[in-house]
Homo-oligomer: A and B are copies of this chain.
Amino acid sequence: MTEQKRPTACLLIIGNEVLSGRTKDKNLGFLAEQLTDIGVRMAEARVVPDEEDVIVAALNEVRAKYDYVFTTGGIGPTHDDITAACVAKAFGKKLIRHPDAVALFEKKYKPEDLNEARLKMTEVAEGAVLVDNPVSQAPGFHIENVYVFAGIPRVMHAMFEGIKHELAGGAQVLSRTIASHAKEGDLASGLGDLQGDFPDVEIGSYPFFSREGQTGVRIVVRTPDEGELETVTDKVCDLIRACGGDPVEETVLGAGN
């Protein structure tokens, strides 16, 4: 399967606020699109609470399993910000104040404002490399295959943009989306056969229906192989026509996801 040749990634969203519904996560969708764009396959995402044992266990599980792990949340100055300590513990490393982060903070804050809480934001697992935060300065960090980002979307997005070039991507996946008012239940059998004929192409089927009662389905064809993309897209369009539908291509080559 083509899927398996691409590097894999996992997003670990850390925070009680996401699990309680107070905060709506906006990083999963962003990261999924970005990784798809560079040929890295997000294989899992997990939301975990601010509990040390849970975070450390999840980190150790997923960093062994996937090529890249990204964490969001829990790197601020307060008592509920425990991500850096958990990463250090997961790697069996000491938690240290990174000298470059301390130097940055010494410029940013007056000496009387640079208290213990703010210095907590300079803490990283020993051996980690800082990840730049162009929005609010307090850095993230990177150790082995784990990248530690802030939870605030603007900051997380900026941090990711800063390290994106470091990631080794695989073949970029090309995709086509074909929409129609054909019925999914009519297309299903033909789509299943098509998937059987092209095992390396990912064929997804996503029904939609509007409040006005209009129903239809979007078929998404994904593969790094441009030739197979064309062939399967044509066959999907034929199938839709055979089921009385009028296929409409919504996206073009290279749209990524």
Which of A's residues lie within 8 Å of B, judged by CB? 16-25, 28-36, 41-49, 54, 76-81, 113, 115-118, 120-121, 135-136, 152, 173, 175, 184-189, 191-192, 195, 202-209, 215, 220, 222, 256-257
Closest to A135 in B: B209
Per a CB cutoff under 8 Å, which of B17, B35, B47, B77 touches A206? B17
The smallest beta-carbon distance between A164 and chain B, in angstroms, is 14
Cβ A19 vs Cβ B45 within 8 A: yes
In the complex, A115 Cα to B188 Cα: how many Å? 9
The smallest beta-carbon distance between A95 and chain B, in angstroms, is 16
Q: List 13 A-B contacts (CB under 8 A).
A: A19-B32, A19-B42, A21-B32, A21-B35, A24-B28, A77-B184, A77-B188, A80-B205, A81-B205, A113-B186, A117-B187, A118-B185, A135-B209
Per a CB cutoff under 8 Å, which of B36, B116, B188 touches A20? B36
In the complex, A209 Cα to B175 Cα: how many Å? 37
Residues of B contacting A49 in the complex (Cβ-Cβ under 8 angstroms): 43-44
Closest to A208 in B: B152
The smallest beta-carbon distance between A180 and chain B, in angstroms, is 14
